[in-house]
Amino acid sequence: MAVTKRIVLRFPKRMVDRPIIYKLVKDYDLEFNILKASITPEQEGVMVLELKGNQAEYDKGIEFLLKGGVQIQSLGQDVIRNEDRCTHCGACVTVCPTKAFITDTKTRMITFDNTKCIACGLCIPACPPRAMEVHF
């Protein structure tokens, strides 16, 4: 299955001079589109990237980045909840790795905090009424 995702990469100082993106292409066959980049030798780097490729390879590529110490964040505003479809069941709550879904203890409604969202996409197929959507 092909995927296209937009992510924000934060490189620690020690990684700025390494050919990270080259590795994504060569080892994981990912197509990239640099949307924004600010990388200066000897300083922290930030890059906004659109990655396209096979889901399994994409996952491996992300794992490679994380292992190397790259922090990954998504463009949270691109992941939205279709309020008409959400039933507030809670199926997303433990699936989300960053705890972006919280059950209100009083109303038992599920709130979505998209500032915590890293657009990993796990909630999208996990949502039974398919209320979570990614828009790039």
Partner 1 sequence: MAKTIAEINEKIKAGKAVVFTAEEIISVVQEKGIKQAAQEVDVVTTGTFGIMCSSGAYFNIGHAKPRIKLGGGRVYLNDVQAYAGLAAVDLFLGAGALPDDDPRNRVHPGEFNYGGGHVIEELVAGKDVRLSATAYGTDCYPRKRLETWLNIKDLNQATLFNIRNVYQNYNVAVNTSDKTIYTYMGILKPKMGNANYSSAGQLSPLFNDPYYKTIGIGTRIFLGGGTGLIAWHGTQHNPDVPRTDKGIPKEGAGTLAVIGDMKQMSPKWLVGTSVLGYGASLTVGVGVPIPILSEEILQYTTVTDEDIFAPVIDYSDAFPQLKPDILGEVSYAELKSGKIKVKGKEVPTASRSSYARAVEIAAILKNWINNSKFFLTEPVEPLPGIESGVTFRKLNERPIED
Match 């990237």 to its residue by tokens: 49
Shortest distance, position 135 Cβ to partner 1, whole Å: 17
Count the Cβ atoms, other than its own, within 10 Å of residue 121: 18
Q: Three-class SS of residue 52?
A: strand
Minimum distance between the CB of residue 36 and partner 1, rounded to whole angstroms? 32
DSSP category for residue 109: P
Detail the DSSP E strand segments found in 1-136: 2-11, 31-38, 45-54, 71-74, 79-81, 101-103, 110-112, 132-134
Residue 81: CB minimum distance to partner 1, A: 14
Interacting residue ranges for partner 1, rule: CB under 8 A: 1, 85, 87-95, 103, 107-110, 125-126, 128-130
Judged by beta carbon, residue 38 or residue 103, the one nearer partner 1 is 103
CB of 29 to partner 1, least distance (A): 18
Q: Which CB, 44 or 57, lies closer to partner 1?
A: 57
Question: Is 25 or 95 the residue whose CB approaches partner 1 more closely?
Answer: 95
